[in-house]
Structure 1
């Protein structure tokens, strides 16, 4: 499978993007060393056509999972079916499973757009910019359906995980589940998940949403010779996914916790009327050590 790619480059880094694969970022690398700054994607990963094997993709019009087969809108129930073969819940919205159009492409900037009718009408734009080693991603979504609908956004980057990878990201609570269900309650963050001071990623699996996040994080990669200093806009939550014995982890800036459509008060979701817009941004600054 041949996948058309866009290429961006600045003085310090270079980036490839696959618009047809859910507007996915494929590889982001330090130009001088070839060091991967997002999880590297080889030809087999690209040929799979699966954004989950690439570097980063946008999450719209929601992040993560929604339970109960859908959710309630002001004018009635919106039914949602599972959208993958591996998960019983609809996950990560619909933007990542559609081809995006290229609106603009230059050396430092690409703008992609998507006009979607799944599961309702919306228009999304993704601006990706490189400048002096800073990767800036801005996601904007406008609701185009006559029925008002709850929206949430996110980004799903995959980062290389090395034995000495360290994370600094301050939050106040973590969402926990009862009896294997989706998370339903907030709790204090245990010490081994508390990254308010920089620490190594835990050895055990983590797949949780953390809340009351000010939007800043640092990913330290001492052995690989760099750090990423990150800042999010429109995201008061992050999801941390550390699978067992894998060479990557995910740190996802999101506007809402998992299954927010069914949590009291729908934390982080926005009810958009036709023509209204919501947005989220993430800035990652590469710093050689």
Structure 2
């Protein structure tokens, strides 16, 4: 099946997927308003087999230390799947399935599958990381760039995390949990009941980012966009909180964005 862009439509919502550009959601339009920052690096890209920064580009699996390219020196960042072309497994009017086979520099064989399902008032993204051979530690998540404004006031970010991961000078969690601080943020937060973050564009739209995962990174230090990133573990999680993918137990994650007009 072609790797050309795929358009999903439901009601007055439209999603464009870009399989060849890292399997990302390139566009999300609601009532004609573009909610995602446009550009080759933006939209919303999947993060796997790790999320956020990996300290010094290194992770340990048992006695073996693996090294990943330092694409955000001195760290490796956001996994490898956003850098490759995904294959279209299935595409219909409101739903599409994309797959990506893990290759070097990732040292283990495996497959990442992403399902996008659109309704008139929601987009659900589901990702699985599978292996048919060696078990390995992994993370999965999403990195959306939401436009800061929709022709008006700045978006407001509303959420009630249980804690904030203290951020060191190297931008990685120190291991200490602190009381959540006021923004601006480039920080990871814990929400044990599941990620629940509301973005409000005053007078226009309210969008809730929901996930059963308990980790979310919020980044709002850029004038054009804000990021709300649900993920299966904190930054550097392959080293501090690894989730093991095995032939009988894939790593699965889901996020749903639900919107309503104001």
Q: Classify 1:177/1:228 alpha carbon distance in 2 versus 1 (closer, same or farther; 3 Å).
A: closer
Cα shift at 1:95: 0.9
**Please, what TM-score do these two structures have when normalized by structure 2?**
0.90
Q: Classify 1:226/1:69 alpha carbon distance in 2 versus 1 (closer, same or farther; 3 Å).
A: closer
Structure 1 stretch displaced more, 170-179 or 4-13? 170-179
The one of 51, 74, 94 aligned to 1:88 = 74
Cα shift at 1:75: 5.0
Cα shift at 1:191: 4.6
Residues paired across the two proteins, number: 254
User: Match of 1:168?
Assistant: 158
Q: Does 1:20 align with 2:20?
A: yes
List gaps (5 residues or longer) in structure 1.
193-201
Q: Does 1:102 align with 2:93?
A: no
Q: Does 1:154 align with 2:141?
A: yes
**Please, what TM-score do these two structures have when normalized by structure 1?**
0.82
List gaps (5 residues or longer) in structure 2.
none
Cα shift at 1:181: 5.5
Structure 1 stretch displaced more, 209-218 or 151-160? 209-218
Cα shift at 1:177: 3.2
User: Match of 2:187?
Assistant: 208
Cα shift at 1:155: 0.5
Q: Classify 1:153/1:138 alpha carbon distance in 2 versus 1 (closer, same or farther; 3 Å).
A: same
Secondary structure of 2:14's counterpart equals strand
Q: Classify 1:239/1:137 alpha carbon distance in 2 versus 1 (closer, same or farther; 3 Å).
A: same
Partners of 1:210 and 1:38 lie apart in 2 by 22
Q: Classify 1:191/1:275 alpha carbon distance in 2 versus 1 (closer, same or farther; 3 Å).
A: closer
What is the root-mean-square deviation in Å for CA atoms of aligned residues?
A: 1.9
User: Match of 1:256?
Assistant: 233
User: Match of 2:44?
Assistant: 56
